[in-house]
Amino acid sequence: MNGITKIFSGPDRHIFSFINHNLRCGPLDRFMSAATAMGSTGFSVTTSLILLAAGRIYGSSVGMDACATLVLSQTAVQTLKRLIDRPRPFIAIENTIFMKPPACRYSFPSGHTCAAFAVALPIATAFPFTTPLVLAAACIVGVSRIYLGFHYPTDVLAGFAITAYAHSHITWRLIDFFQGMMI
């Protein structure tokens, strides 16, 4: 295990175990399984492309922002996953409750959380009245990843932090650059 993840392993495992074991119930199992889909590649890419197409019609850059945030943050997440090589909790912790395991064995950072926030942050920025709803939905995706046994809390926080940084510091510069090239 990488030194970065060792620092957080004690508290991380305790919070993980509490969420993964103590909050279990049938209706919540079904809800979390459905909620986690909002962070899937298919959902986040489709939503971003729909926003991009709608933006072309209505003159909004929210779709371009979502696409750029998604590409930049997912590139960082997928690179870090392979560099850090932290095994998922259902692999590393005995008695973890999980359903169908994901194909990727890397845990840190959470790609689903990253993808959910890559869509939510641009929507919240463009349409502030949606902020509580879209950010709550993205947070639920993060919690679902812990609940389902796929990520530690620090994985989820890192997925959010990477996306927040990409959205607030890099995406707008990239959009301005490409829009400048189109003029």
Global pTM? 0.84
Express each pLDDT in 31-55 by its tens digit.
999 999 999 989 999 999 898 888 7
Alpha-carbon distance of 110 to 162, in angstroms, equals 10
Q: Tell me which residue has tokens 């962070």.
A: 39
| Residue 176 exposed, middle or buried by CB count within 10 Å (0-12, 13-18, 19+) | exposed
Alpha-carbon distance of 72 to 119, in angstroms, equals 12
Express each pLDDT in 109-157 by its tens digit.
999 999 999 999 999 998 999 999 999 999 999 999 999 999 999 999 9
Residue 126 makes CB contacts below 8 A (sequence gap 6+) with: 60, 61, 62, 65
Q: Which helix (H) or strand (E) holds 66?
A: helix 62-84
Amino acid at 143: V
Residue pair 167/65 in contact (Cβ under 8 Å)? The answer is yes
